[in-house]
Amino acid sequence: MEIILDESNFEKELKESTFPFFIDFWAEWCGPCQMMGPVISEIAEEYQGRVRMGKVNVDENPNLAGQFGIMGIPTFILFIGGAEKERQVGVVPKEKLVHMLNVNLK
């Protein structure tokens, strides 16, 4: 299950998470974001109970996009212990995102 994050709940959700947090920065109008949506949903199901999945709409949350230097979307950031561990930008194969998670979850 993916959690909708915004400027009002982002810090709280990130700090209170006992799991690594994988966040998808996206926008409604973004074709590549729409292409990656089903992939992110699959990963959310496969990693349920091990990783929290979140989505941030950059149009609705420009301060968060600026805070994390989001220059292109989709951008996927993995946070561990509240700190950014790794990021991927653009349309990437599911295997690349799975590899990113597996390497960092060891």
Residues 81-105 have pLDDT tens digits of: 999 999 999 999 999 999 999 999 9
* 40-65 CB burial, b ≥16 within 10 A, e <16: beebbeebeeebbbbbbbbeebeebb
Q: Tokens in use for 63?
A: 């301060």
Is the pTM for the entire model greater than 0.75?
yes
Q: Give bridge partners of residue 24 from the DSSP assignment.
A: 55, 76
pLDDT on residue 2: 85
pLDDT band at 25 (very low <50, low <70, confident <90, very high): very high
pLDDT band at 17 (very low <50, low <70, confident <90, very high): confident
Q: How far is Cα 52 from Cα 100, in angstroms, rounded to an integer?
A: 14
Q: Tokens in use for 97?
A: 């995102």
- Identify residue 73 by its one-letter amino acid code: I
Residues 54-75 have pLDDT tens digits of: 999 999 999 999 999 999 999 9
Q: What percent of the chain has pLDDT over 90?
A: 92
Domain CATH code at residue 59: 3.40.30.10
| Residues belonging to the active site | 30, 33
DSSP type of residue 36 = H
Q: Tokens in use for 6?
A: 């915004």
Q: How many C-beta atoms surround the C-beta of residue 1 within 10 A? A: 8
Overall domain count for the chain: 1
Residues spanned by the domain of 100: 2-104
pLDDT on residue 32: 96
